[in-house]
A and B are shown apart, each in its own frame.
Chain A
Amino acid sequence: MISAIYDLALTTGANRVVRGCRIEHVCGNPDLGPDKDREYGMRIITTALQALTTEVSGPTLFDPQGASTETIHAS
């Protein structure tokens, strides 16, 4: 699941959560200009595809910016 409010997605039990930008534009950022926006959007989508092929043991956050995974334990 790609979500700007990723904490909610993790808490409600989504196993693979990709950090989106903002509620208004989850999969991109128009402030970056067309080229960088597309690049950023692609990074989000690629991260999501990678997430799908990654084994997880519980709700896990995938961050397209850091390209690292961060395990968040639902509180």
Chain B
Amino acid sequence: MRLELGTFPVRDARFGSATRWDDGILTIDRDVVLRAVHDDPLVATASLEIARPGESVRIWPVRDVVEPRVKVNGSGVVYPGWFGRSIETVGRGRTHRLAGVGVVEVSSVNWHDAGGDFVDEYIDMVGPWAEITPQSALINVCLVVEPDPALAVQTKNEVVHRATLAVSDTLAAAVRGLRPPELETFELTTAPATLPGVVYIQCVHSPQAMSHSEHTFCTGTYGLTRLTPPWLLHPNEILDGALSGPYRTLFATSWTVVNNPILLDLYRRHGRDLRFLGVIVFRTEWTTQIEKDLMAEQAAKLAQMLGAQGAMVTWDAGGNEYIEVVHTVRACERLGIKTVFLTSEDSPEGGAPSLLKPVPEADAIVTTGFFNTRYLELGLMPPVERVIGYGQKAAGRAVDATVVGAPQVDTAGAIPPPWRHDDHYGFTRLSSFAY
């Protein structure tokens, strides 16, 4: 499977009379883009705004950030499987991407209606939160979109994300026929057998147990988010967006998954330092001990069948999902596969361990620090001049919105950062120290 990835860097984006890319400038025909969004009769309202790094802008609330990509040749479509998009296997041929641009999904639609569990993410384009958020360095084309209010919450989710992909498709189509300034070829060529075989086990949250939704929120595999046994993906499929979708932390949006530094580093070291064997996508939040352990056993078995001598494990969630993840690390180690685990840490309060369950076999752990932003001691984020999205939110965490009559605050004002800074793939410039 061979994929050429053509990169079109974007220095600036502006609205104009036609959508085109020219020497780093992306011009966007706002009317045409919004018409593509309104092709879906279930979209009630939609608007498009641009936010640039360094501007005094806050984008609230953020459900997803998507990098515009398009298939130039090869089967399938980018971000496949979502809501009627082709499920044909991707990863072959050529794909073009607009680099440095994000299409931001801004909507009041929550991921499920069980209550008490809101999407509470925002992007600042300047200030302390911007400094530790990778998407703040992008030129963000923000789609503020609301579906028909009569729809069920799962259908609302579908409408909103489909609209975001319509914007992404329309922008990326502008570079489909152009010659990319940069071209990189991704292929798992035959590598010397003396190099260690390494598999990447990417654990992604399933909303099924919480929301009963099979496909409407969280990182989907070809659009599917339900609890399924581990999948084997070629890394090229991921570069074409076969693993993508909205999420509740900024570090697991579609943009971060296709730009995942671990995936790209493993790939670029293939044939040089290691043999990259593939990606085992491991869906988490199984709800019995036996299911958790079964999935861990099976993921490790797959890694062994692939001939792995080493494994890299990441996850994008918290809480009980830690069990199947860390048991996967343990199962790999017990099969003789040296395994490195990249994780954030729980709060250290009350003397509790900062990892839910210590496992002796997990002896190579890279930490990205505490995920609770309280421990980053950032204080309040400074006020901004302009808000893209909604001018008010419930005070404190959005969870407070479940309290009837909860006080509202202006989102342009000084507000706390989102509660979670959980760097699932090692993007940030934060440093850690042991004490």
Contacts and interface: CB of A to CB of B under 8 A. Distances in A.
A6 B288 CA distance: 9
B320 A75 contact: no
Given A11-B357, A22-B288, A75-B360, A5 B209 contact: no
B289 A4 contact: yes
State the main secondary structure of chain B at its contact with A: loop
A11 B288 CA distance: 16
A8 B321 CA distance: 11
Contacts of B293: 7
Contacts of B287: 4, 22-24
Given A23-B209, A23-B320, A24-B209, A4 B288 contact: yes
Nearest to B352: A12
Contacts of B323: 5, 7-8
B166 to A, nearest CB: 35
Interface string B268-300: 000000000000000000011100110000000
B191 interface: no
Interface in B360-389: 360
Contacts of A21: 288
A75 B293 CA distance: 14
Interface string B100-133: 0000000000000000000000000000000000
Interface in A20-54: 21-24
A22 B286 CA distance: 9
Nearest to A24: B287
Nearest to A22: B287
Contacts of A22: 287-288
Contacts, number: 32
Interface residues of A, number: 13
B289 A7 contact: yes
Interface in B340-372: 356-360
A52 B327 CA distance: 29
Contacts of A23: 209, 287-288, 320
Contacts of A8: 320, 323, 356-357
Interface string B24-62: 000000000000000000000000000000000000000
Contacts of A7: 289, 293, 323, 357
A10 B191 CA distance: 44
Interface in B292-325: 292-293, 320, 323
A72 to B, nearest CB: 11
A4 B292 CA distance: 11
Nearest to A25: B287
Nearest to B322: A8
A4 B323 CA distance: 12
Contacts of A4: 287-289
A8 B288 CA distance: 11
A19 B290 CA distance: 11
Nearest to B291: A22
Contact of B289 (A5, A12, A24, A75): A5
Nearest to A3: B289
B199 to A, nearest CB: 24
A6 B290 CA distance: 10
Contacts of B288: 4-5, 21-23
Contacts of B209: 23-24
Nearest to A23: B287
Contacts of A19: 289
Given A5-B323, A7-B357, A8-B323, 9 more contacts: A4-B287, A4-B288, A5-B320, A7-B293, A8-B356, A22-B287, A23-B209, A23-B288, A24-B209
14 contacts: A4-B287, A5-B292, A5-B320, A5-B323, A6-B289, A7-B289, A7-B293, A7-B323, A7-B357, A8-B356, A12-B357, A22-B287, A22-B288, A23-B320
Interface of A: 4-8, 11-12, 19, 21-24, 75
Question: Closest 10 A-B residue pairs measured CB to CB?
Answer: A23-B287, A22-B287, A11-B357, A22-B288, A7-B289, A5-B289, A8-B357, A5-B320, A6-B289, A8-B323
